[in-house]
Amino acid sequence: MGRKPRHEEERVANRIELLRSQAGLSRQELADRVGVHYQTIGYLERDEYSPSLVLALKIAAALGHPVEEVFNLEKGE
Amino acid sequence: MSSATDKIDDLSKQLEEKIERGVINWVNNDHFFDFLRNTPARWMLALIAVGTLYGYGVYAWITEGVTGYIYPVLIFGAVLLQKLSVRFAFDDDSTIDEYQHTRRNRAYRRAYKRSGWVLALVLGLMLVRSWEWTTSMTAQNMFWPLPNGALNFNCSIEQAVIGLEFLIGHFVIQKYLSWGMRGERN
């Protein structure tokens, strides 16, 4: 019952970039709304960072979508 | 009279904090400093930090007559560049977001582990040095001296100062090197 290899681990995927552009928001604008740096939005959009639950909820609220529409759990290979 | 002095003190503190916050906010958010934050810049800054800390450190150690004044100035310069590159993530909790928090904490963990390895290496070198001294004493005197815990490194005052500066610089710079080479992208 050891830890799964990294490529088999579940990861949090998101649709921030798509929903942000649909909402007509720049990264900076979204970042200002949720109180993070604009670079952090970039890391999230490129799936380089999984947000905390608080930040995920803030982003979902800022984009006007339920959190499960913005974020989902992706199975590893 | 004292309340007027207290008031002036409070005002000057507030002004100082305001100026400090203003400078940090400006440095953190102005795109002027972006050239220090991409991946090639991170590599370059790491090379500068390592070159300064270890390269100049070794040069100053082995070169007679090199005083310890330039070394801390160079280390300070390397640290300042690193601070700008990581947006003062190690200095002020209130200006960083959760991604920077996470990355900063990981950098601290890595730096702690790395420093442990360096400390082990230094202790190992001290043991080798001690063993060399003991065996040379044995060869000279045809007897095996009892270990007395004294080590003779034959270093001058300048070298001792440089060694101290190296240690301080080493522990200060580790966290910046451990921040990682992945830079920001726009």
Structure tokens at B57: 């450190």
Q: How many domains does chain B contain in total?
A: 1
Q: Does residue B12 surpass a pLDDT of 60?
A: yes
Neighbouring C-beta atoms of residue A74, cutoff 10 Å: 12
For residue B183, being part of any structural domain is answered with no
- Best of A30, A34, A40 to substitute, by most chain B Cβ atoms within 10 angstroms, is A40
More confident residue, A6 or A22: A22
- Say if A36 is an interface residue toward chain B (CB within 8 Å): yes
pLDDT for the residue A77: 62
- Helices B39-50 and B70-85 pack at an angle, to 10 degrees, of 160
Q: ipTM for the complex?
A: 0.82
pLDDT in tens, A8-62: 778 889 999 999 999 999 999 999 999 999 999 999 999 889 999 999 999 999 9
pLDDT for the residue B128: 81
pLDDT for the residue A32: 92
pLDDT for the residue A14: 94
User: Where in the sequence is the domain holding B68, given as residue range(s)?
Assistant: 2-27+36-87+96-178
Q: Is the Cβ–Cβ distance between B113 and B177 less than 8 Å? A: no
Average pLDDT score over residue span B94-99: 87
Distance from the Cα of A38 to chain B's closest Cα (Å) equals 9
For residue B120, being part of any structural domain is answered with yes
More confident residue, B73 or A77: B73
Q: Is residue B130 very low, low, confident or very high in pLDDT (cuts 50, 70, 90)?
A: confident
For residue B186, being part of any structural domain is answered with no
CATH 3.40.718.10 applies to domain A13-74: no
Average pLDDT score over residue span B16-23: 86
Comparing alpha-carbon positions, the chain B residue that sits nearest to A26 is: B186
Average pLDDT score over residue span B111-118: 88
pLDDT in tens, B37-59: 999 999 999 999 999 999 999 89
pLDDT for the residue B124: 87
Distance from the Cα of A66 to chain B's closest Cα (Å) equals 21
